[in-house]
Amino acid sequence: MQPFVYNGLPSRVVFGQGTLSGLAAEVEQLDCRRALVLATPQQQEQARKVLEQLGDRGVGLYTEAAMHTPVEVTEHAMRVVEELGADCTVAIGGGSTIGLGKAIALRTGLPQVVIPTTYAGSEMTPILGETRDGIKTTQRTLEVLPETVIYDVDLTLSLPAGMSGTSGINAIAHAVEALYARDRNPVISLMAEEGIAALARSLPVIAADPGNVQARSDALYGAWLCGSCLGAVGMSLHHKLCHTLGGSFDLPHAETHTIVLPHAVAYNAPAAPEAMMRIGRALGCDDPAAGLFDLAKAVVAPTALEEIGLRQEDVERAVEIATRNPYWNPREVEAKGIHRLLSHALVGRRPSSEEGTDR
């Protein structure tokens, strides 16, 4: 057994069906009385229902959360926080809304209650990514870790099948990188493999039958595990590429993760054989890169960056940004290999873990 360090993160998790009914009690447990509900414009109706659940502990709504957490949106939200005298935030939604809650917490120290409605997993992490002037930067600090996370399976039943697939593979990406992270440990590796397996078996079922409660429960469970992995250990090449493509080219977050992941795995495969074995075992296949690509196909997710807005002429600039200050990675990050990776991802070429030896 290799030496390791494991730090458990101090967050409270409430998981089940109908758990939203306990929201007011959770806010009370944090000794808060003026909760501001956060959401995107698309989730205003859900946000209003959450405000109703809060009763006299809800002070208002802010429903302008945006993808990649632009600082100008956060600054606008901060004015609302001050005007309403909010003493905590309640975020309902996916990564965009959760990111806004974290950005507010970083600036104010306000406690957060998070109600995920996707499988993104960011609710379990002390990580905040913010976009300023077209560049997305991330930081890791316990100041942005939500105090309470309420997982209510019922809230995911209306998540469209397509969004379920991309959101779920986004979550899988967190666990994949946790398996070859520099600071990986046995506890997180167990959670990562279990999280990948739970999502891999449930996402195709959801694609065919979005109302399947058991599959929805499995997927949300997997998302919790994968998010916990991202919160506990470092990120590598995959996340750096996705932060670059999202922050600098405004590509949609979950779809970008879905498309890039198989290619990042193929790139790293020669340098992380144990991780590849565990990923393949969780997916039930021999080739983890191809298996992840096939999973995306099975859930009818996009598999080419050109499908979501990247152009051939953007690849060179993306390579330059991604290699300028790379995250730690098990394999050296070099421009030629990254250019090839992104070129393959651009057109949706099915990767193979064997091809990493040729990069």
**pLDDT tens track, the chain, 359 positions:** 678 888 888 899 999 999 999 999 999 999 999 999 999 999 999 999 999 999 999 999 999 999 889 999 999 999 999 999 999 999 999 999 999 999 999 999 999 999 999 998 889 999 999 999 888 888 999 999 999 999 999 999 999 999 999 999 999 999 999 999 999 999 999 999 999 999 999 999 999 999 999 999 999 999 999 999 998 999 999 999 999 999 899 999 999 999 999 999 999 999 999 999 999 999 999 999 999 999 999 999 999 999 999 999 999 999 999 999 899 999 999 999 999 999 999 999 999 988 755 54
Q: Report CA 89 to chain centroid distance, whole Å.
A: 20
- Taking alpha carbons only, the member of 60, 96, 95, 53 closest to residue 79 is 60
Q: pTM of the entire structure?
A: 0.91
- Taking alpha carbons only, the member of 166, 195, 207, 208 closest to residue 283 is 195
Virtual torsion, Cα 338, 243, 12, 214, nearest 10 deg: -70
User: May I ask the CATH architecture of the domain 161-358?
Assistant: Up-down Bundle (1.20)
Query: What is the spatial distance between Cα 31 and Cα 113, in angstroms, rounded to a whole number?
Result: 12
For CATH 1.20.1090.10, the residue range(s) in the chain are 161-358
For CATH 3.40.50.1970, the residue range(s) in the chain are 12-156
* Per-residue b or e along 128-166, where b marks 16 or more CB atoms closer than 10 Å to that residue's CB: bbbbeeeebeeeeeeebbbbbbbbbbebbeebeebbbbb
Q: Report CA 302 to chain centroid distance, whole Å.
A: 17
What topology is assigned to 12-156 in CATH?
Answer: Rossmann fold (3.40.50)
Query: What is the spatial distance between Cα 101 and Cα 107, in angstroms, rounded to a whole number?
Result: 10
Is residue 119 a contact partner of residue 92, using CB atoms and an 8 Å limit?
no
In one letter, which amino acid is 82?
E
